[in-house]
Structures are given as structure tokens and as C-alpha cells.
Amino acid sequence: MFIMAIQKKMKIILLTPMDIEQEKALNALARMPNLQNDYEVIVSGIGRESTAKALMQLPKHDVCVLLGFAAIVGKESNLSAHLQFGKPIEITQATLYGYEGGLFENGKPLYTEPKTKQATLASLTSDKFVRTTDLAEQTVINMEDYTFMYLKKPQDFILRIISDFLPHETEIDFFEEVKSIDFLEAIMAIEESFV
């Protein structure tokens, strides 16, 4: 007699630094007809302290994914297809870039194994937006990854969506720039990781 195993739905929390990321995640989830898992999208707030507080207050879950926008160092025209505007990438290495963007390292690099099939990159977390050009191309810049990597559980991971390219060649209105970004590809990548 053949018995089919019934896979338990996982409870996945999507932790987003900003409301706009939460809206985009909810919009993408609403367009996925056959979700294999149950999702809750929680806004943590921007920055290391907000991320830490949010992680300590999460409801019961199986996996937490930090999901949000990120700037990447380099010109879009010089980067490969999987590193273009709006593309999801997984962060597997995080470093801390000193107090208020200072040029000193005060946290050892943290590493994790990839959980998705997305491109994997290293990120630099700073208390302020980094404007320097003296950073390796394809470095992802943000204000939360290091804290998340430090406090996360082994199964948790970071998925960032490329929102802008550093250094900015012209002044940008960030919220106007990201209006067209869709989180559907990112949600699909998360779903594919747990089937």
C-alpha cells in the first residue's frame, strides 16, 4: 500500500525594514495562488537596533527571512543579469562598517550557507548610508544585515532586492525609484527553498 507523506506547512516570517517592503511582499503573496507555506510580514524598522528588537519579539515561526531593498556597489551596465535592478540576491556574508559609517571594522565577518538558488553576495552594514566609492564592486550596502546574521537561527536567511547602484551618479528619489520593483521573484525563491 502506497502512503503519501503530507508535508506540514511552515510558518515563515518575512521581516521587512520598511512599510513599502511590507506592502510589496504582501502584494506578491496575494498573487501566488498555491502557496506551500504560511506567511506573516512584519515591519522591523530601519537599523541595527530596530532589527534586534524585532527579532526578540517575533511570534512563533519555523523560518524568518529578512526581506528588503539594498544598494549594490557598481554600475548596473557593468553588472551581470542576475544583479540588475529589482533582482533578488541572498546575503551569505555580513560585515559591520563601524559606528556611523566610520572607516573601522568592529565586528568579525559572519557567514552562513545559502538557502536559496539566488546569487549570493556579501553585505556591509552601517549605521548611516555609505557614500564612499572605495568598496568592492558587488558589495551590498544596508543597515540591518549584520544584526540579523548575528541573532538569527541556522535556518533563517537574508534575501535582498537590488534597489539602487552606488555611487549614485545623480541625485535619486529613492521611493520613486523603487515603485516599479516587484517582490514576486523573491517570494517565489523563498517558496522554492521549502518544497
pLDDT in tens, 92-139: 999 887 555 444 556 688 999 999 999 999 998 877 666 655 778 888
Global pTM value: 0.88
pLDDT of 195 reads 66
Residues of the chain where predicted confidence (pLDDT) is lower than 70: 1-7, 98-107, 128-133, 195
pLDDT of 40 reads 97
What's the per-residue H, E or C state across the chain? CCCCCCCCCCEEEEEECCHHHHHHHHHHHHCCCCCCCEEEEEECCCCHHHHHHHHHCCCCCCEEEEEEEEEEECCHHHCCHHHCCCCEEEEEEEEECCHHHCCCCCCCCEECCCCCCCCEEEEEECCCCCCCCCCCCCCEEECCHHHHHHHCCCCCEEEEEEEEEECCCCCCCHHHHHHHCCCHHHHHHHHHHCC
pLDDT of 183 reads 97
pLDDT of 106 reads 61
